[in-house]
Homo-oligomer: A and B are copies of this chain.
Amino acid sequence: MYKAKVFVTLKPSILDPQGNAVKKGLLSLGFNNVEDVRVGKYLEVTLEAADKEQAFKDIDEMCKKLLANPVIEDYSFELE
């Protein structure tokens, strides 16, 4: 059994209104030292696989097909 931690972020060139809203929230709470906030997704996927290589391939395919939108998002993951 493998557990993958998947990080999905907007590409740097894509505007992030949710991140801007969080930044404004932090500023209004008095955190005046905040420069930038970007919001992404974090997924933990538990899966069965014959070996780590297979798990890696499966997770990569899941990211491409469903978990991330490759047009506007980047993804990365760690397997353990």
Contact = CB atoms under 8 A, between A and B. Distances in A.
Interface string A34-71: 11111111111111110000000010011001110000
A58 B31 CA distance: 8
Nearest to A43: B39
A41 B42 contact: yes
A35 B47 contact: yes
Given A66-B22, A67-B22, A58 B39 contact: no
A17 interface: no
A21 to B, nearest CB: 11
Interface of A: 1, 7-9, 19, 22, 25-26, 29, 31, 33-49, 58, 61-62, 65-67
